[in-house]
Amino acid sequence: MSCERPLQELPCLNENLEGSLLCMSQTKRKERPCYGEENTPHELIQHWSPPRKQPRPCGKGKENAFVLARRPRKSRDSTAGLCWDSLPDELLLGIFSRLSLQDLLRTSRVCKRWHRLAFDESLWHSVDLVGKAQLDAELGQVLTAGVLRLRSPHVCISQPGFKNADLLRVQHVDFSSCTVQTSVLEDILSRCRRLQNFSLEGLILSDSILHSLAQNVELVRLNLCGCAGFSHESLDEMLQSCTQLEELNVSWCDFSSQHVQAIATNIPSSVTQLNISGYRQNMTMEYVKNLVERCPNLTNLDLSDSVLVTTDSFPFLQQLPSLRHLALSRCYQIHPAALIHFEKFEKLQTLEVFGLIQDSYLPILSKGLPHIQINTQPFSGVARPTSATRKDRTIWGMHCRLVYKP
């Protein structure tokens, strides 16, 4: 027998469920107006519309100005072009060319590709390593990177650690006053065939180094001031091979009379600037005559500290039509009164006679030679990479792009 409960009348939902969602919905349905009517209240539209996001103001002080925009979605294909790996080598090289030396070296450690590009020869055409106290394998890495100009005077150089026997591209090198073994220089010079400007001032050399210099037939400027350790035969070979030399500095070398004779008899006629000072008893009048005959286009000649040079050299020197700068400092066989004869040198611009005249006599001599500046350059700049009067970091007038900054 089933228990059937008679249906009882349920109370009005509105009475028991007052405040419920159902009650609220029914109430709202009753109050919902007809949208076909005119003058529809905007409050109801806002009430029944879905909630809107509050716009953000554009900036400070612009409370009533808003910009509502949706950022478009970027596909994966469009973002692929922004990856560094997708950039071509040419564009990366252009970026790397703006970096300093230290930043370029850090960049080379990122990945294999960047290492290859960071040592591209187009980025290493000129390097200034002044301030770097010690150069080991770094020097070999810089030279093999294809550097054309290298400025590294007053540096301690050890084994460069070349990994192959390839020739170097370097053309302009300043090794002045470096601390370096002769064997290391021989290793470096044996790989050079394109040198144009080279300074080895104050270094101990060898016949092997002079033989390697002779292989650089395009050599234009050579500074061997204060060098020693090579024979006059190797000097003969070098001078006979380097027929394009224009500036030569062989002052104050450890030379015998045979070395001086080798220069006087083998110096190429292309030389226009020559510093052969410091040979006291070894520079004879005969050698002066040979130099003038072999180099008729001399514009700068330094014969200082040659005690055998006398006023008899003046007729020889007068045969140089292009002579502009002449140094006869401490040539004590020349009497101060004889200096007035330089009034016949119409194109002579500077005359260095330190040690020959007293300071009190200088104004009188200057008055007698009004077209000549006297004792204005105590140091010679022939073939030197950086002139003593300049304080910049140039090398034979050329700047280096990559500069070491300690």
pLDDT in the model for residue 387: 75
Residue type, 16: N
pLDDT in the model for residue 5: 47
Instruction: Name the CA dihedral angle for 192, 194, 198, 204, rounded to a multiple of 10 degrees.
Output: 20
Average pLDDT by stretches of 10, the chain with 406 residues: 46 46 46 49 49 57 58 56 78 88 86 88 88 86 91 92 90 96 96 97 97 97 97 97 97 96 97 97 95 97 96 95 97 94 94 94 93 94 82 86 84
The closest alpha carbon to 300, from 328, 279, 280, 278, belongs to 328
Q: How far, in Å, CA of 332 to CA of 122, rounded?
A: 53
Q: How far, in Å, CA of 211 to CA of 79, rounded?
A: 59
pLDDT in the model for residue 67: 59
Q: Would you say 200 and 174 are in contact if contact means Cβ atoms under 8 Å apart?
A: no
pLDDT in the model for residue 259: 97
pTM of the predicted protein model? 0.77
Write a three-state SS string for the chain: CCCCCCCCCCCCHHHHCCCCHHHHHHHHHHHCCCCCCCCCCHHHHHHHCCCCCCCCECCCCCCCCECCCCCCCCCHHHHHHHCHHHCCHHHHHHHHCCCCHHHHHHHCCCCHHHHHHHCCHHHCCEEECCCCCEECHHHHHHHHCCCCEEECCCCEECCCCCCCCCCECCCEEECCCCEECHHHHHHHHCCECCCCEEECCCCECCHHHHHHHHCCCCCCEEECCCCECCCHHHHHHHHHHCCCCCEEECCCCCCCHHHHHHHHHHCCCCCCEEECCCCCCCCCHHHHHHHHHHCCCCCEEECCCCCCCCHHHHHHHCCCCCCCEEECCCCCCCCHHHHHHHHHCCCCCEEECCCCCCCCCHHHHHHHCCCCEECCCCCCCCCCCCCCCCCCCCECCECCCEECCC
C-alpha torsion sign, points 386, 392, 393, 397: negative
The backbone torsions φ and ψ at residue 351, rounded to the nearest 5 degrees and listed phi first, read -135, 120
